Amino acid sequence: MKRDYYEVLGVGKSASKDEIKKAYRKLAMKYHPDRNPDNKEAEEHFKEANEAYEVLSNEDKRRRYDQFGHAGVGGAAGGQGGAYGGGVGDFGDIFSAFNDIFGGSGGARGGGSPFGFEDMFSGGGRGRRPRSQGVQGSDLKIRLKLTLEEIAKGVEKTIKIKKQVPCEVCHGSGSKTGQMETCPTCQGTGEVRQASKTMFGQFVNIAACPTCGGEGQIVKDRCTSCHGEGIKQGETTVKVSIPAGVEDGNYLTLRGQGNAGPRGGASGNLIVIIEVIEHKIFTRRGDDIVFNLSLSYPDLVLGTKVDVPTLDGKVKLTVPPATQPNTLLRISGKGIGHLNAPGAGDHLVRVNVYVPRDLSGKDKELLRELNKSSHLVPDEQAGHEKSIFEKARDIFG
């Protein structure tokens, strides 16, 4: 079972970003594989610390983790991605986060390590992550409106979205001939480096190549249809699987379903934000559904059976004799399905007394006669709540 991420880093749940970063930095230094060769335990500690930092250093992931725990960031459902984000991948991802903190050689972020961590841990270049092909496309956000009925059981939706797609003329390459040339400035690495030595060690500054923008290649014979970008505006359909139990504002990430990347770059992600449509007769309380039912005074006193609507259709409900107004009657398992767990909430029926506003003279006489009974009015110890007859008298006089 995974440990709590705050416990892993040794910080409290109210820790600031700087405190989280400082705690991770300390653990990463202690358990780095190059400092602990052939030490499986240290390797697991390093992975665990990185996983915790990947989540807690990201505001969205941290919010989901605080709300849903590990399930909120563990890739539960949702097309080709997973609901509410994903976990940490291989050592490439681990060293990516490590280099974000310490500077090392990683992508085209720039900055380098002023303290020589690159040389300390990677032997002056050993283990550098390979350059990714092309620039990744941007993420795309859409809002998806759902009814309570759809949320109760989960639903699969097919939606049309407008996004950047690979150019059909050059097949996304940006070139008429489909050919690319190695960038003469960076020789295909996508990076330019400047190294200098100081009394504290070697200082390495890494930046994206200004010629190719970090891609390592330049377009040969630009495509006139997409102006060499390899992408154009288009429309596509996407299937989205929504799990039961999602709430308004939750979102699912479909990896690789966002905007296509320029010149063969990987596609970004599609972020589907859930928007719940207000129901006409039901309200949601957690995974329970609440329905207000008005009954006549005789039905409350004598008891009755009545058909009540639920998300699954009508269900026969037994109202016991002497049911008091504002009582909640429960129909088990007829609420919202639990998110990432079996079972469902309940359907709660709040019973209220119906006070008519239009009575015949005969009806009024019957009520006045009934009101004379000592059993039908509250005694002094029952407080000041008005009886049904007193409420009717206030209306009709």
3-state secondary structure of 324: coil
| Spatial separation of the C-alpha atoms in residues 12 and 20, rounded to whole Å | 9
pLDDT value of residue 215: 76
Q: Could you say which residues of the chain have pLDDT below 70?
A: 1, 68, 71-72, 74-134, 198-201, 376-397
Binding residues: 167, 170, 183, 186, 209, 212, 223, 226
According to CATH, the topology of domain 133-169+226-278 is: HSP40/DNAj peptide-binding domain (2.60.260)
Sequence-ordered alpha helix ranges (H) in the chain: 5-9, 17-31, 40-56, 59-68, 91-102, 117-122, 148-153, 297-302, 361-371, 388-396
Percentage above 90 pLDDT, the chain: 41
pLDDT tens string 72-99: 675 433 333 344 433 334 444 444 555 5
CB burial class (10 A; 0-12, 13-18, 19+) of residue 353? middle
Residue ranges of the domains in the chain?
Answer: 1-131, 133-169+226-278, 286-354, 355-397
Predicted pLDDT of residue 265 = 84
Q: What is the pLDDT of residue 293?
A: 97
Q: Please, what CATH class does the domain formed by 1-131 belong to? A: mainly alpha
State residue 273 phi and psi, 5-degree precision.
-95, 125
Question: In degrees, to the nearest 5, what angle opens at C-alpha 102 toward C-alphas 126 and 36?
Answer: 55
Instruction: Look at residue 65 in the predicted model and tell me its pLDDT.
Output: 82
Which residues are annotated as part of the binding site for Zn(2+)? Answer: 167, 170, 183, 186, 209, 212, 223, 226
Alpha-carbon 377 to chain mean position: 53
Q: Which of 271, 291, 269, 270 is nearest to 280 (CA)?
A: 291
What pLDDT is stored for residue 117 in this prediction?
A: 39
Reference 306, options 287, 296, 319; nearest CA is 319
pTM above 0.85, yes or no: no
Q: Which amino acid is at 55?
A: V
Q: Is 286-354 the same fold as 133-169+226-278?
A: yes
Strands 327-331 and 347-353: antiparallel
pLDDT tens by residue, 218-243: 888 889 999 888 899 999 999 999 99
What confidence tens digit (pLDDT) does each residue in 118-167 have? 333 433 333 333 444 567 889 999 999 999 999 999 999 999 999 999 99
Backbone torsion region of residue 213, taken as left when φ is above 0, otherwise alpha when ψ lies between -120 and 50, otherwise beta: left
The architecture that CATH gives domain 286-354 is Sandwich (2.60)
CA dihedral sign of residues 316, 320, 322, 328: negative
Distance CA 62, CA 196 (A): 38
To the nearest 10°, the Cα dihedral for 215, 221, 223, 228? 30
Q: Residue 274 has what pLDDT?
A: 95
State the pLDDT at residue 1. 65
